[in-house]
Amino acid sequence: MDVNRDNFYDILPEILNDINNADYVAVDGEFTGILRFNNMSRFDTPAERYKRHYEYDRHYLMIQIGLAMIQCTNQRENRYALKAYNFYLFSENETDAFEFRSKSSSLQFLAANHFDFAQLFLKGIPFVCKTKYLETLKSSQLSSSNDNNPQISNGITINKKRKPEATTNSVQEQLESSNASNAESLKNPMIGFSEVMWKLQESGKPIIGHNLYMDMLYIINQFFTPLPPSYEAYKSIVKSLFPKLIDTKTIASTSIFQNIISNTGLNVLYKRIRESPFPSCRFDVVDNFKYASNGHEHTAGYDATCTAICMTEMMAYIAEKTEFKGNPIEHALVNTFNGKLFIMLSFDLTYVDLLNDDDLPDRSCIFYVSHPQTWSTANVREYFSQWNLLAYDQLDLTTHIIAVSLEKDTIQTILSKMRANDKNLIITPYAEYHHLDTSKIKTKELDPLFDLNPNNRRSNNWVCIDNDTVSMNIPSYSTEKSIQTMNSYNHISSGNKTSSTIN
């Protein structure tokens, strides 16, 4: 259902009720701009990647958000209730006006996918950032109080206004205490769509997303508090607000599905989970469900629906293989997936962990190469290919970062070989370049469920699922039955009557 300013307040109670009844809620957003891939590095640490997003994305705007609520109604039959909403977000009038950046390529992309800009600009639902709103409210109340009780000094009326502190602790305390202490103040109609996000946060329901990293940046910045410069401060805020975050792209990238899912893009994944060997899940929806057919890609409500169904199907598959009889969202592996948000374009990281410490994998195979300015990326690629070049990135005109395989050589041996071949190159190991004390570095051990082996760039073929000591050995893709599209697998039903199949 499309939701704009015309119908938002009428159906708001229904939306909040759907959140309360849901087992989990899938989210997806569309933005006026995002950080481009060529502004990322394959060798970014989680903190470095966040800094890049902080510099770029905090200036852009989420202009559409989709919410899809899933509730398991019959575990034995794999039957679920599904509700989905597509919200247009924009300032209502000059009083609430705000400035934001937009990128022409992002707007063109939305236009090419039939984004309704008229509905956005003319009927967008207003919203507020919680900490900014509370600060404004507090300032207004203080000003009103001072107007009633002015202090006189040397014949001059003084209105004292205390500037709010901007520390991470004060932000978290303000967010955590606002639910109770400002309950009445937060009922102001100008809050608009933010009430939905605040209620979603208060509900404690698991938040599901596909490539959720980006969505969370915008959700925090737009509805709760401006993004802090520090990655650790950001993680603290996220952890205090949303302790249950699941990324379907991370799940699809695990070794559980490596022989079943070859492409984790949302639209491709959505088609794949409707085929064998995924179980037959049925989704009961309202009449005339808008997203019962294709053709709505990159509409936030549709993408949230696809994400919710992908989550349901993948967890139902895991539950079936491990003989778990309860609601799949309660499977032990959900806790393992929690907080691990997929990170795009990374050499050795599958995810960032917003709820726990981020330990880097062993980066002894990564080197910084200083070379003559006449060298191009092609020269670097050609020169280091003899040492099984795994990945590379250009840092500046005279520096590249490279990763090579250490399967056959030690660090010192390969360093000697590389330096001996060309005296004009200055090759520096990763730890030395960053002045890291290797004796104090906490290196992340490879997890067979999530992590790629940097020497062969492939996941392990086997994973043990710790659920009542049940092990699951995923069969080779080549030994599976031939894949057939089975329309009967994913019926969307309206009441007791099947309305259509999602294609």
DSSP string, 20-87: HH-SEEEEEEEES----GGGS-TT--HHHHHHHHHHHHTTS-EEEEEEEEEEEEETTTTEEEEEEEEE
445 is written with which tokens? 């051990």
- What contacts 385, CB < 8 A, 6 or more positions away? none
Amino acid (1-letter code) at residue 134: L
Query: Mean pLDDT highest for which of 284-293, 337-346, 491-500?
Result: 337-346
Give mean pLDDT, residues 372-384: 92
Q: Average pLDDT, stretch 436-443? A: 76
pLDDT tens-digit profile of 58-101? 999 999 999 999 999 999 899 999 999 999 999 765 556 667 88
SS3 category, 501 = strand
Query: What pLDDT does 486 receive?
Result: 26
Least confident residue range of 18-32, 216-230, 311-325, 359-373 = 359-373
Amino acid 165: pLDDT = 46
Mean residue pLDDT of the chain comes to: 82
Task: State how far the alpha carbon of 229 is from the alpha carbons of 51, 70, 121, 242, 448, in Å.
Answer: 7, 35, 30, 19, 33
Q: Is 43 exposed, middle or buried (0-12, 13-18, 19+ CB in 10 A)?
A: buried
Query: What are the backbone angles phi and psi of residue 5, rounded to the nearest 5°?
Result: -65, -25
380, 397 in Cβ contact below 8 A? no
Q: Which two tokens stand for residue 333?
A: 């592996």
pLDDT value for 343:
95
Is pLDDT larger for residue 220 or for residue 455? 220
Task: Give the pTM.
Answer: 0.83
Looking at the chain, the whole-number percentage of residues with pLDDT higher than 70 is 77
What pLDDT, in 10s, does the model give residues 416-438? 888 887 778 999 999 999 998 87
Confidence band, pLDDT 50/70/90 cuts, at residue 445 = confident
Q: Coil, strand or helix: which one is 106?
A: helix
The amino acid at residue 44 is: D
- Please count the other Cβ atoms lying within 10 Å of the Cβ belonging to residue 259: 16
Among 207-211, 431-435, 496-500, top mean pLDDT goes to: 207-211
Lowest average pLDDT, out of 9-18, 58-67, 132-141, 180-189, goes to 180-189
Average pLDDT over residues 216-235: 96
Distance CA 294, CA 282 (A): 17
Q: Quote the pLDDT of residue 450.
A: 87
The tokens describing 338, both together, are 């929690």
Q: How many beta carbons lie within 10 A of that of residue 65, not counting itself?
A: 29
**Residue 493, amino acid:** S
Q: Is a pLDDT exceeding 70 seen at residue 404? A: yes
CA distances from 264 to 185, 270, 448, 467 (A): 43, 9, 18, 25
What is the spatial distance between Cα 55 and Cα 208, in angstroms, rounded to a whole number? 25
With CA atoms as reference, report the closest residue to 276 among 127, 467, 489, 442: 489
Chain centre to alpha carbon of residue 411: 35
13 pLDDT more than 80: yes
Q: Is residue 392 left, alpha or beta, with left meaning phi > 0 and alpha meaning psi from -120 to 50?
A: beta
Per-residue pLDDT at 248 exceeds 80: yes
Residue of 211, 451, 207, 239 whose CA lies nearest to 341? 211
Q: Residue 87 is which amino acid? A: F
Task: List the single range of 197-211, 432-446, 456-470 with lowest mean pLDDT.
Answer: 456-470
How large a percentage of the chain has pLDDT more than 90?
Answer: 60
Q: Which of 374, 362, 429 is nearest to 402 (CA)?
A: 429
Do residues 401 and 392 touch, judged by C-beta distance below 8 A?
yes
DSSP assignments along 151-167, one per residue: EEETTEEE---PPPP--
pLDDT at 503 over 80: no
Decide if pLDDT at 157 tops 70: no
Taking residues 218-223, report their average pLDDT: 96
**Taking residues 298-325, what's their average pLDDT?**
95
Q: Is 501 a residue whose pLDDT tops 70?
A: no
**Cα angle: 188, vertex 304, 88; to 5 degrees:** 40
- Rg over alpha carbons for the chain, rounded to the nearest Å, is 26
pLDDT band of 471, cuts 50, 70, 90 = very low
Q: Distance between CA 92 and CA 254 in Å, rounded?
A: 43
CA distance 145 to 143: 5
Of 132, 131, 124, 138, residue with least CA distance to 93: 124
pLDDT of residue 124: 94
Answer yes or no: is pLDDT of 181 > 70. Answer: no
Rounded to an integer, the average pLDDT of 372-383 is 93
pLDDT band at 312 (very low <50, low <70, confident <90, very high): very high
Q: How many residues does the chain have?
A: 503
Hey, is 471 helix, strand or coil? strand
Contact 392, 403 (CB under 8 A): yes
For residues 45 and 291, what is the distance between their CA atoms, to the nearest angstrom? 38
